[in-house]
Amino acid sequence: MDGFINSVLFSIVYGISCEAYFGTIAEKRVWKQKWVGRMTVLAFGAGFMIISYTPVPPYIFQPVRLAVVVAAAAQLYFRIKPLHNLLFSILFCSIYWMETMLAASLIFMLPQAQAGALEKKTESIVAGIHLCLMLAFHYRYKKSARKLLGVKWERFGIFPIISLIVVMAVTMLPWDRGSAVENHVRLTVNLGVIAISLCAFYLTGNLLEKDMEMQGIRLLHERTKNQINMYHNMQKSYEQQRKYLHDYKNQLACIQGMLEEGRTKEALAYISKLTGGLKKSADHINANHTAVNVVLNQKYQEAGDRGIAMAIAVNDLSGLTVSEEEIVTLLVNLIDNAMEACGKLDKNKIIQFKMMLEEGELILSVRNPVKEPVRIKDGRVATSKEDAGNHGIGLLNVEAVIKKNAGTSVIRCEDGWFSFSAMIPIPA
């Protein structure tokens, strides 16, 4: 009876370890019957119970059996690709076998009387260590580990497999109690294998992080290209509108002719049609800079369509030396982020925008209310989209432009308002 109770307890502990481990790297499946979704620990625990009460296979197949059981339960309760699941299950087994091997090596270092008492507790010790490691892994990486599933990291999956093979090979060596020298050699070899495996995992993690950074840079570059293309389309529309406004003097001459001929109703209808088009295509902002005019006028109209008021302050920006592409990157990203934040509000939807060229410096400021406080860490908006209120999107490109032009920027979130301010030196 005691053996059965111990098996149940160990199975539950390992089940909690598995849930913490896979819950860090993958999302849970949603079940129509909610009680089924709460059975994750029991599902993993049932797998370990099956292992406890089935014949023990040859030693080399023991980790295979464990990996299959863990992967089967994980596939049932988590949204994860089968290949990813298999590699993560093998990694789980590798860590477990490393802990077992290290615990056994340390016990062999003790005097025989003490070692005999601890050998009976080896499984309890390993189960406790494994649970602590998985919980620490969960709380440390629960916000970032799932991003790995979007990176093509399968090419690094050979490391968990090799580590497991090496660990299994070491554990298959004779483990009879020998001299102190033999025990020290065994411990040294085991620690060396563990150190090499940890280095491999660490290097793999670094490579994956670099891969994720490169992917983010590629996405930002693609976003910038799309913004530049949008700007060119906006510029064509802007030029067309200016030509349309220029032709209004001819339209006025036509209206004058209608009135002189007494065609009053036709003249009024014609005027109504023209003023409607004028309302849509009028230039609200003129900063003597084509790129600034195009973007600000388009965003002003877009904000109005979304029920957002824009208070804009600009002066003569004809002396700007910042390239058109960089101007578009700055304005589009900052104003789009502000509009997305205002879109979440029920009232007080306003954006305060300032762009002034004063004493050889470009002063750029965008300020808007936010529904929830924005977390700012080390002078940057936190990367979590929920915490950042979408302000983090595109700000890397904005910071790159400011840094390239030797400028400085400050981000704040105080009293329900998010503000971005920058100063960029402009050569004469």
Angle at 210 between CA 204 and CA 211, to 5 degrees: 85
243 Cβ contact list (under 8 Å, min separation 6): none
| Mean pLDDT value of segment 211-232 | 62
- Give me the pLDDT at residue 397, please: 81
Domain boundaries, given as residue ranges, for the chain: 2-219, 285-428
pLDDT in tens, 239-273: 655 655 556 566 667 777 777 777 787 877 777 76
Q: What pLDDT does 227 receive?
A: 59
Nearest CA among 369, 351, 348 for reference residue 296: 351
- For the domain with range 285-428, which CATH number is right: 3.30.565.10, 3.30.70.20, 3.40.50.2300, 3.40.50.970? 3.30.565.10
In 282-394, which residue ranges form alpha helices assigned H by DSSP? 290-305, 324-342, 385-388
Q: How far apart are CA 302 and CA 91, in angstroms?
A: 51
Rama region for 414: left / alpha / beta (φ>0; ψ in -120 to 50; rest): beta
Alpha carbons within 13 A on the beta-carbon side of 121 = 10
Q: Residue 290: its pLDDT value, please? A: 83
Read off the pLDDT of each residue in 201-227 and give the average, rounded to a whole number: 60
Contact 292, 284 (CB under 8 A): no
The per-residue pLDDT for 207 is 59
Q: Which tops the pLDDT comparison, 200 or 360?
A: 360
Contact present, 131 and 17 (Cβ < 8 Å): yes
Contact 398, 381 (CB under 8 A): no
3-class DSSP state of 143: coil
Residue where the block lists tokens 């009024």: 268
Instruction: Report residue 115 CA to chain centroid gap.
Output: 48
The answer on pLDDT for 149 being more than 60 is no
Q: Report whether 369 contacts 419 (CB < 8 A).
A: no
Q: Are 260 and 250 in contact (CB under 8 A)?
A: no
Q: Any idea which residue has 């909610």 for tokens?
A: 34
CA distance 139 to 134: 9
Share of the chain above pLDDT 70, in %: 67
The whole-chain average pLDDT of the chain stands at 77
Report pLDDT digits (tens) over 103-128: 777 777 776 666 666 677 778 888 88
pTM equals: 0.50
Q: List pLDDT tens digits, range 323-336.
A: 888 888 889 889 98
Model confidence band, residue 237 (pLDDT cutoffs 50, 70, 90): low
Query: Using 50, 70 and 90 to split pLDDT, how confident is the model at 387?
Result: very low
Confidence of residue 209 (pLDDT cuts 50, 70, 90): low
